[in-house]
Amino acid sequence: MKKTKKKIRSSVSKRFKVTKTGKVQFAHQYGSHKKLHKSKSRIRRQKEPGTLTGAFAKKVKQMLGAA
């Protein structure tokens, strides 16, 4: 029997990244739009990647084929 290749979700692969330790990282939204109305601390916070935890992180890993 031929093994089938696991297809990854391209939409998920564009938005999330799995690190070597298995954490799921994402880029914050609303980072480059209307910056004058946002506080400097908020802009700085949005620059660094966020980390997913829990069941949704597990689901994302499954969709990326990294589970």
Nearest to 51, CA basis, from 27, 25, 16, 14: 25
**pLDDT higher for 58 or 5?**
58
pLDDT at 32: 85
The answer to whether residue 1 sits within a structural domain is: no
pLDDT band at 6 (very low <50, low <70, confident <90, very high): confident
Domain count for the chain: 1
> How far are the Cα atoms of 4, 35, 47, 64, 65 from residue 13, in angstroms, in the given order?
20, 27, 19, 6, 10
Q: What 8-state DSSP symbol labels residue 33?
A: S
Q: What is the pTM assigned to this prediction?
A: 0.78
Range of the domain at 54: 8-19+38-67
67 pLDDT exceeds 70?
no
Distance, CA of 13 to CA of 44 (rounded, Å): 24
Average pLDDT of span 3-32:
90
The answer to whether residue 50 sits within a structural domain is: yes
Task: Specify whether the CB–CB gap between 63 and 36 falls below 8 A.
Answer: no
Q: What is the pLDDT of residues 21-64, one digit of tens each?
A: 999 999 999 888 889 999 999 999 999 999 999 999 999 999 99
The answer to whether residue 24 sits within a structural domain is: no
The answer to whether residue 26 sits within a structural domain is: no
